[in-house]
Structure 1
Amino acid sequence: MTSGTSVEPREGLRGKRSGHLADVAAVVLAAGLVGAATTVGLAYNRPGAGVVIYAYAPPLFGDWLPHVGPGTPFAIVLAAAVVLWGPALAARLPWRRLLLLGYATTVGWTMALVMVDGWVRGFTTRIATDNEYLHEVPNIPDIPEMLRSFSSRILEGAPHFWTTHVAGHPPGATLVFVWLDRIGLGGGAWAAAACVVVGSLVAVAVPATLALLGRPDAARAVLPFAVLLPGAVWIGASADGLFAGVTATGIALLALSVAAFTHGRRSAPLAAVAGGLVLGFGIFLSYGLVLLGLVAVAVLIAGRQWRTALIAAAAALLVVGAFAVAGFWWLDGYHLLVQRYYQGIAHLRPYSYWVWADLAAFAIACGPAVVAALRRTVTGAVRTRPVRTLLHDPVVLLVFAAALAVLLADVSGMSKAEVERIWLPFGVWLLPATALLRPGSRRWWLAAQAGTALLVNHLVLTGW
């Protein structure tokens, strides 16, 4: 287990000032990237431009629509409360009470943002359109048959081919909503509620992972930032928010196993099995989530418990095997997805624009605090000697693993636009970097996070 070392170098007064200036400079550069993506995107959207990006509030997927709603005052009050009292409460509350309060506040913040758009437009119909999973749920009376025939229905033009989001993901994503329907929780409201309730688990899973890996100080510092993550705009309500919550929980279970093995607890193998099963199911929610294996490896390196790795890997392979026996082979589905992806608007969206505009959209979803914190993480890592020290700090390991996953997803060309929601499962693992922000500046950065979310939610009617 780590001793709690941090890569952030010691600085005097001049160093502190220069550090703050460098943080602001990093945010200004990110804002410049967003501005460039917006300007170029709007130019492409002009009639006769000859380029189609299918994003009308570039670099975000949505429509420009300044508006307020019943959630506006609640969102402002909650944001102000977290900014004013969040850091102090995070520092002194008992750990379990803090996690519970953080989770409840995250659900409230997410729902307040949802209600800026309104109950129907922002919640009940958001994932019930013709392109979404719920469109297919009534057409799946037989789950075993659905799994056997799933791959044959991915390509557009195939008999009874799947709608966009069903075809674009492995069958696990659709199964979640089919199961909800089977237990009497069908329809858009219950599906959206599941996305919010499960997606908000990131505010528990990310800090808990840090604490379990020996950085309780970082865990407490990060929690308010996990609550006010601008990505909450898309957690409420999109299935990608649910994916983020599920996979973050799986990572936290791995960390729980690591800590249990270290302290000789009998629950260690069970936690490893649970983590492996959850993460194994995660890659059947979205193909890109296989890249979260990098974050899982970071947890294992930080914890140095290879028993967790072996048990979790075996459990994950059980999930893969179960889907294979049921008739769906992950690799076949992925190869067919690539073909389906370029049957749609992806072949029109220019890679030359989205390969950098995606990073601008992602920066919005992560928020300025994460941008500044990433600057500190990279600078601290460069200055730290020996490099071996970095392998003892879960903050650095998790952040670098998540950043690498994002870069791989970006260059793949399989996420041209809409990454503000698609990359949420990666973005939440950049939050540990915020532990490196100066304590005296954290309220300002929290205010910047909340302001970003409120600005986006009130200016843009987001899609999906």
Structure 2
Amino acid sequence: MTIPRPQSAARTAGTRRRLAAWIGGRGARDGSRSDLVVALAGAGLFLAAVVGAGVFELAGRPVHAAAAPLFAHWLPHAGPGTPVAVAVAVLVCRYGFGVAARLRWRALLAASYGTALVWTLSLALVDGWQRGVAGRLATPPEYLSEVPGVTSVPAMLRGFTGRILDHQPDSWTTHVAGHPPGALLVFVGLDRLGLSGGAWAGLVCVAIGSLTAVAVPVTVRVLGSESAARAAVPFLALFPGAIWIGVSADGLFAGVTATGVALLACGLVRRRAPAAYAGGVVLGCAAYLSYGLVLMGAIAGAVLLAAPARRTIWWAVAGAVTVVAAFGGAGFDWLTGYHLVTQRYYEGIAAHRPYAYWVWSDLAIVVVAAGPVALAVVRRAMLGISRGGVWLLPLAAVGAMVAADLSGYSKAEVERIWLPFTVWLMAGAALLPEHARRHWLIAQAVVALAVNHLLLTVW
């Protein structure tokens, strides 16, 4: 006589069988289980960074970030952008992959840009219009505070390096001093066009930063395949780093550099000299927006390696040289500026942020800034699970971030500073098994919404 097992025991046994089938079946065969493991390890690293900040604080070595490792303040809140952000997340998670598969290519790019734009702006508006958009770039350390004093652009360029060091009467504000003059010129240019003030500056950063949702798929399509590019679109439209694209100048930098890489890829692969030249000009300009953007050379190098035709590379080089010659001729020497900004860096709070904490906590930030899917993509790229040259792009981005991290000049705030690199981790979305992509996208959206509603981000 067989004694029936209790219903709860039967359910438990059924769950165990399903779990065992997943572990030994499809989950093991296609690497989904390993993807989940690395994502959980990343979450563990982030939690260790949270705890580590407290340990350093108790040891008398504060890390100087209120919500470490993120540069933010704990403040659970909602705002006018909340319902829009939630709606966008739900719609993209539900319909994004189907739309990406069916729409004509140009229509898809337009939809990707529009979705990224609404997503970014809605996340910024969770903090409200003034606090989240109009006031972000209008604070004393930001670029806009120096715009009224620029009465002559040539004079500003000639005297720029003389005002980088701190503790002198005419020192540049923190952000202007910490970047080449190209960043300040952007906002001076907006002012000259009549688009003055924090609101216009914030909206322009969002508009240009959202170009990543177009430039990255274009690059993936040129180097890999259209199917790989279509797989990446929903992840770029709901990119968690959009929290910092709206609103920071680094979001603008991300849009500019991504566009430069896309132009470079089109120029090299399709042998179009004008596109290659334009790519060189845009990437050359990027080096004058932020010193750290010279590390975009790693991603440009990945494009060169993946491109089947490379003869037009000299047009790209010519474009970059044009920019260098223009700034040099105007009186700004990049190397002198870089040398001085490294001194300025350690005149401020960076001198007090412990390298022993930030050298690994910076990497933990990527788990949030790029989302958990980034680790799964990187794992697969490292294993060479390749579709054309797509796998090179996320690995190049990782290389750039590791170099920035080890340099010691990226201690904290990398959730915004590394935006030009983290966005390229999404380029490898096609490496993920198709059945798992929606689950990863949901995780991306949940992380972004949670961070933006639990924390008041500074940028």
TM tier, shorter chain?
over 0.9
State the TM-score, normalizing by the size of structure 1.
0.92
Specify the SS of the correspondent of 2:390.
helix
CA distance in 1, matches of 2:309, 2:71: 41
Unaligned runs of 5+ in 2: 1-21
- What residue in structure 2 maps to residue 416 of structure 1? 411
- What residue in structure 2 maps to residue 440 of structure 1? 435
CA distance in 2, matches of 1:443, 1:374: 18
Match of 2:263 among 253, 260, 278: 253
- What residue in structure 2 maps to residue 105 of structure 1? 115
- What residue in structure 1 maps to residue 395 of structure 2? 400
- Write the mapping of 1:45-194 to structure 2, written as runs, cut at 5 A: 45=57, 49-194=59-204
CA distance in 2, matches of 1:244, 1:166: 18
How far residue 157 of structure 1 moved from its aligned partner, in angstroms, is: 1.9
Is the 8 Å Cα contact of residues 223 and 390 (structure 2) preserved in structure 1?
no
CA distance in 1, matches of 2:91, 2:409: 39
CA change 1:159–1:306 in 2 (3 A) is: farther
Identity %: 55
How far residue 45 of structure 1 moved from its aligned partner, in angstroms, is: 4.2
How far residue 14 of structure 1 moved from its aligned partner, in angstroms, is: 4.3
CA distance in 1, matches of 2:62, 2:142: 22
CA distance in 1, matches of 2:69, 2:61: 14
1:382-401: CA deviations, max 9, x gaps? xxxxxxxx7x8321111211
How far residue 276 of structure 1 moved from its aligned partner, in angstroms, is: 0.6
CA distance in 2, matches of 1:308, 1:30: 40
How far residue 83 of structure 1 moved from its aligned partner, in angstroms, is: 0.2
- What residue in structure 2 maps to residue 385 of structure 1? none
How far residue 44 of structure 1 moved from its aligned partner, in angstroms, is: 3.4
State the TM-score, normalizing by the size of structure 2.
0.93
How far residue 449 of structure 1 moved from its aligned partner, in angstroms, is: 0.4
How far residue 306 of structure 1 moved from its aligned partner, in angstroms, is: 2.4
1:69-106: CA deviations, max 9, x gaps? 11111100100000000001111110000000010000
- What residue in structure 1 maps to residue 19 of structure 2? none
- What residue in structure 2 maps to residue 365 of structure 1? 369
Specify the SS of the correspondent of 2:384.
helix
- Write the mapping of 1:348-387 to structure 2, written as runs, cut at 5 A: 348-380=352-384
Unaligned runs of 5+ in 1: 1-11, 262-267, 382-389
CA distance in 2, matches of 1:459, 1:306: 47
One-letter amino acid of the structure 1 residue matched with residue 158 of structure 2: R
How far residue 438 of structure 1 moved from its aligned partner, in angstroms, is: 1.2
CA distance in 2, matches of 1:213, 1:22: 27
How far residue 460 of structure 1 moved from its aligned partner, in angstroms, is: 0.7
How far residue 13 of structure 1 moved from its aligned partner, in angstroms, is: 9.2
How far residue 260 of structure 1 moved from its aligned partner, in angstroms, is: 2.4
Count of residue pairs the alignment pairs up:
436
CA distance in 2, matches of 1:152, 1:307: 41
1:86-135: CA deviations, max 9, x gaps? 00111111000000001000000001101100000011011110110001
- What residue in structure 2 maps to residue 220 of structure 1? 230
Is the 8 Å Cα contact of residues 220 and 229 (structure 2) preserved in structure 1?
yes
- What residue in structure 2 maps to residue 318 of structure 1? 322
Is the 8 Å Cα contact of residues 269 and 308 (structure 1) preserved in structure 2?
yes
Is the 8 Å Cα contact of residues 269 and 310 (structure 2) preserved in structure 1?
no
Specify the SS of the correspondent of 1:367.
coil
CA distance in 1, matches of 2:117, 2:80: 16
1:327 aligns with 2:342: no
CA change 1:159–1:304 in 2 (3 A) is: farther
Specify the SS of the correspondent of 2:76.
coil
How far residue 15 of structure 1 moved from its aligned partner, in angstroms, is: 5.8
One-letter amino acid of the structure 2 residue matched with residue 431 of structure 1: M
CA distance in 2, matches of 1:39, 1:308: 50
CA distance in 2, matches of 1:255, 1:31: 34
Larger Rg: 2
Match of 1:204 among 186, 202, 214: 214
One-letter amino acid of the structure 2 residue matched with residue 346 of structure 1: A
Specify the SS of the correspondent of 1:307.
coil
One-letter amino acid of the structure 2 residue matched with residue 250 of structure 1: G
Q: Runs of 4 or more off by more than 6 Å in structure 1?
A: none
How far residue 378 of structure 1 moved from its aligned partner, in angstroms, is: 1.7
Is the 8 Å Cα contact of residues 280 and 316 (structure 1) preserved in structure 2?
yes
1:463 aligns with 2:458: yes
- What residue in structure 1 maps to residue 47 of structure 2? 35
CA distance in 1, matches of 2:360, 2:224: 36
- What residue in structure 1 maps to residue 8 of structure 2? none
CA distance in 2, matches of 1:158, 1:302: 48
Query: Which moves more between the two structures, 13-22 or 155-164?
Result: 13-22
CA distance in 2, matches of 1:238, 1:179: 17
How far residue 441 of structure 1 moved from its aligned partner, in angstroms, is: 1.3
Is the 8 Å Cα contact of residues 45 and 56 (structure 1) preserved in structure 2?
no
- What residue in structure 1 maps to residue 3 of structure 2? none
How far residue 214 of structure 1 moved from its aligned partner, in angstroms, is: 3.6
Specify the SS of the correspondent of 1:121.
helix
Higher relative contact order (CA 8 A, sep 6+): 1
Query: Which moves more between the two structures, 16-25 or 248-257?
Result: 16-25
Is the 8 Å Cα contact of residues 42 and 56 (structure 1) preserved in structure 2?
no
One-letter amino acid of the structure 1 residue matched with residue 254 of structure 2: A
1:237-289: CA deviations, max 9, x gaps? 0000000000000000011112321xxxxxx1111111111000000010010
One-letter amino acid of the structure 2 residue matched with residue 23 of structure 1: D
1:368-413: CA deviations, max 9, x gaps? 11112212222335xxxxxxxx7x8321111211111111011000
Is the 8 Å Cα contact of residues 278 and 316 (structure 2) preserved in structure 1?
yes
CA distance in 2, matches of 1:274, 1:147: 23
CA distance in 1, matches of 2:26, 2:179: 46
CA distance in 2, matches of 1:136, 1:148: 16
1:286-308: CA deviations, max 9, x gaps? 00100101111111111133222
Is the 8 Å Cα contact of residues 299 and 393 (structure 2) preserved in structure 1?
yes
Query: Which moves more between the two structures, 207-216 or 76-85?
Result: 207-216
1:21 aligns with 2:33: yes
CA distance in 2, matches of 1:252, 1:45: 44
Is the 8 Å Cα contact of residues 116 and 213 (structure 2) preserved in structure 1?
yes
One-letter amino acid of the structure 1 residue matched with residue 212 of structure 2: V
Is the 8 Å Cα contact of residues 246 and 282 (structure 1) preserved in structure 2?
yes
Match of 2:422 among 423, 427, 445: 427
1:134-162: CA deviations, max 9, x gaps? 01001111111100000000000234000
Give RMSD over aligned pairs: 1.4
